[in-house]
Structure 1
């Protein structure tokens, strides 16, 4: 591979993990808030160990800072006094076309989920703008409250949360944010964006008291969430703690609070996320999020070498659940193919999708390793040599695991042959 040029802030500079430095796997006493964290330290201390972290000063230069309007100083006791920001509704209307957007009604639920509806974006903004006059309490006073901080009867106004909006995909020429380098090693969106499929890049925006119910992230993926404006409160718990909250049928609650968690002896952390901060949510950490003020955030779900094995485990477990659900149909023709169809519908991907993703990432990394082809991640970042090699080593391990899986071996989609082909290519260049 050709020697790499120094790309400064755009180089994902990964070094071999220092033996013994990151062996400690005890959960932290509190979630750290870091400024000036290096990519290498984030990779090994947090992403590889599956620990959460708050990273400050990530969105200073993003165009979407124009979506906010600075108001008067609110917290006069801080040093220096802090300024509060509000939503720049006029800028948003002028910048973004009036297309349909997905909205959740936080005052209504249906089958353990907020009721979903679709509104035109400008109509949503006007309904939001009209509700802001009802909210007068200081957002900073909300940080200590364990409840959804409603100072107005929710029945008297909208509580509509624009969620899971694929704005970046819908407006590819509008560069309203830049993926922080910490999160640029993203196998999931690297493939989906290249193949112009639905990706996992989202914008969330909503009024004070809107909220996201208790859940863990899709696929068992990582997620990151950067606040552009506003304050969010998170409750987040390590993997395994969620089992203490399930009912006798194994179903999780729709919503949680501190009292419930304390009564069930759940270990959890509380995060108060401010504007210009990114929260890294590791795989399998259940959480619930409240908007303590009017809030806008940019969010991604993703996975990479650090958690690809966890995603595979979740995929296998979900296939087993699907097979149990329709076990009375086991004698039908194409039973396993039908299970894969249901797996894709319920989980979001199936074994074929997972195999295609591994093949795609492997092809790119092998091209970098063997032909000095440099792919830009999110149009900005390049990996150093060791990063490419580490990705390839992880791809070899997960492909070897797949090749030994009984479902893969008997798949009518010839997945075993594809696994062995991919493994041969990866081992040839190891």
Structure 2
């Protein structure tokens, strides 16, 4: 089978790496891809926003499955147009992708379905939002309703911080994403990521992971897209995982189906493990990044078989997914200055030497390009050094040994990814 993978980041490199291991794969294409993905796939010059061009390519290349990695094409309805053209696609419809595309939509769904989540209010003007703030007080969490590229969420400890966040949204700081805001109570507890697959009816758990959002060691500094992750997440016990499925994921899928907008794809539930149990922070409708990297390292089932079953609505025919008993850990190497302004074009070397230290793992490219035959940085998060080990401690040791083999003065990483879990 020929497969087209949409995307260009570390998540997509991990998906390409795993898809390339499938016995069913004939040819893998990627658009636009990156130098790491190019080791597994033929890169094609397609703009995912040009749905007609994507469909035409799929028809001409006899593509049997399209895997959409990032959220923007999903919210824009690429899956709908592919499905209308008779092309199998892994990823939700535009209507179902509202679970990520609109935080207010998801909060309202949770309220109707009795899904545990933080108390909230939705507002489309500053005056009403400020009045609500005066009523509930601080601390609160202020969120731009729409997609804001991982930004647009402020944990405000004071009313002044909350008001500043509201003003940033309503004054256009996040474009159309901030035209409406959600104000939530601040939950307390450890955060964890839970993933499940759904074909619209059947729902199966996928895996757990825990990432590190802050830029610097000790969970200090600004929030980022993620500086590292490990899987499984020991803090999410089997009992808590089943509660998550029973109280959060299954009711969500049932509510979407009842509304006539069935969810097909992967549901990524960001959870807060509170004193009363798991509560939903928010949904993403695609594999997390960098969580995908550690999950792909552990997955032993044929990824192509699984994603095709989801796309064809026969997930119930797939038996339990097979996972390595090993733990996986990834360290994100980011360009100096990230998550602020970074310098592009700094040269990177030592990738082959690093991968030689990663049995069963890989160095995934998240933001690279080739210039005059040299690998250079082309983004904020640039590499994901991903290792397997018998436990988190061993995976961590291997990952950092590989990190130290990468020659890149223009980058940095956190040195405490998985440190607490390794000691537990």
**Greater helix fraction, Structure 1 or Structure 2:** 1
Q: TM-score normalised to the size of structure 1?
A: 0.25
TM-score by length of 2: 0.25
- Which protein is bigger by CA-based radius of gyration? 1
Q: Which has the higher contact order (CA 8 A, sep 6+)?
A: 1
